[in-house]
Amino acid sequence: MTGQTSVPSSAASPSPAPSPFAGLAGRIEAGVSSGLARMTGTAVGPYQTAVIRIGFSLTWLLFLLREWPHRAELYGPDGPFSWDMAHQLTADNGAFSVLMWTDSRVWFEFVYGAAIVASALLLVGWRTRTSSLLFMIGVLSLQNRSVFIGDGGDNVIHLMAIYLVFTRCAQVWSLDARRTARAQDALPDKGKDPVGVVLWAVLGAALLLVTALGLLSGGWAAIFFGFWVAQAAWWVVRRYTPGEPRTVLDIFANLAHNGALLVIIVEVCLIYATAGWYKIQGSRWQDGTALYYPLHLDDFSPWPNLSHAMASSGLMVMVITYGTVIVQVAFPFTLFNRRVKNCLLVLMMAEHASIAVVLGLPFFSLAMITADAIFLPTGFLRWAGDRLYGSVRLRRRRPTAEAGPDPKLPQPAAEPAPSDLVR
């Protein structure tokens, strides 16, 4: 009929409503691709890993320095756990300790001193790939020599010393980071690194010697030679083929770093979860005696008046007892909520700080506070690092600022901003 408009068949029949699951596969694929790109392209948590590097190396360094007068009784030939007993134990469980190579007093003094030096080098972040491995050797050698020495924090340091070897923990707040920033000013021979080559050659010669003498088991020899070869491959690629081979090595290094960081996070969660659930099952934490009795022990009462005052208050004992259990059990579940996690993190750090003061366990508390620091927000860590760096730089420049610049002398170039050195 004239004047009527024909309606297309496609418009006449309504199109079906889109399924809510139509784009789900695409979103999942995009999320997986983004996650893989992040895991392989970046080393996540650079500030968090720098904090645990500094914290654990500082804890172990302070412990070794404090126990310097008693080192022979703790880990040396004058201890109740004799060298023969330690040799039998390590032969049975396969634990690694270079102190088991000989019972010489000179060798013990060398190892103890080397452990102090390695801790200091890791603390400042000098040649971190090497210093972290030496730090691990020092921790394992001393702790496996006398397994009955420690207060619980040594177990945490023992595990974290192994994990730190696989992390890229010197990206910020280290001498390595500063050297890398300065090397970007384009020197043609920046890939030569003579100090690194000499260090690699000396440690390689030492490794070949101890392997030839039969002092290393097959498994540990393979591990150390693997690290040695990997370091050589890293230098060769950086020096001669900085293109795609360097990218591939960076991917492997990022995967190792991110995997180790995940293991550290899971380890800390397991420590608190198991501690909390074991406390729930025992009657000592239900009636408060688990806190009451240690406050009356002389070995855990550096401030007797303070300990007795706390133990005499039933309300305080109840609050601390149940608060500790609740925080430890709940903490792994709070990782899904950032604000609640940060609140519990403050409570846990305050609890460990109080343990250091009330019970006289400073190194245990420092080790646990360092382990907790892996969950600190990146923004807070960057803010704290900038404030600390700014205060240190201000103290260094204060005498010059008070005297005023001399107009007759050439003025130095402006110092780089904190964000340039703390990346």
Going by C-alpha positions, the residue among 120, 115, 110, 121 that lies closest to residue 139 is 115
- Please give the pLDDT value at position 423: 32
Q: What is the pLDDT of residues 156-207, one digit of tens each?
A: 999 999 999 999 999 999 999 998 888 776 555 555 788 889 999 999 999 9
Burial of residue 142 (CB within 10 Å: 0-12, 13-18, 19+) is buried
Alpha carbon distance 317, 323 (integer Å): 10
| Res. 4: pLDDT tops 90 | no
- Please give the pLDDT value at position 421: 32
- pTM comes to 0.85
Q: How confident is the model at residue 122 (pLDDT cuts 50, 70, 90)?
A: very high
| Res. 373: pLDDT tops 70 | yes
**What is the phi-psi region of residue 173: left when phi exceeds 0, alpha when psi lies from -120 to 50, beta otherwise?**
left
Q: What is the mean pLDDT of the chain?
A: 85
CB 386 within 8 A of CB 282: no
CB 418 within 8 A of CB 390: yes
Look up residue 46 and give its two tokens. 């650079």
**Contacts by 343-349 with C-beta closer than 8 Å and gap 24+?**
345/372, 345/375, 345/376, 347/323, 348/272, 348/372
- Please give the pLDDT value at position 288: 87
Residue with tokens 């009462």, as numbered in its chain: 301
Sign of CA dihedral 312, 318, 320, 325: positive
Look up residue 176 and give its two tokens. 């390595």
What integer is the mean pLDDT of 229-254? 88
CA angle in degrees (0–180, nearest 5) for 298-302-123? 125
Q: How confident is the model at residue 223 (pLDDT cuts 50, 70, 90)?
A: very high
CB 176 within 8 A of CB 127: yes
Buried/exposed code over 57-90 (b: 16+ C-beta within 10 A; e: otherwise): bbbbbebbeebeeebeebbbeebebebeebbebb
**Residue of 119 and 288 predicted with greater confidence:** 119
Alpha carbon distance 359, 364 (integer Å): 10
CB 226 within 8 A of CB 250: no
| Res. 295: pLDDT tops 50 | yes
Q: Which amino acid is at 288?
A: G
- Please give the pLDDT value at position 187: 52
Alpha carbon distance 289, 283 (integer Å): 9
Domain spans, the chain: 189-240, 275-395
**Residue of 299 and 54 predicted with greater confidence:** 54
* Count of all residues that appear for the chain in the document: 423
Percent of the chain with pLDDT strictly greater than 70: 83
CB 121 within 8 A of CB 131: yes
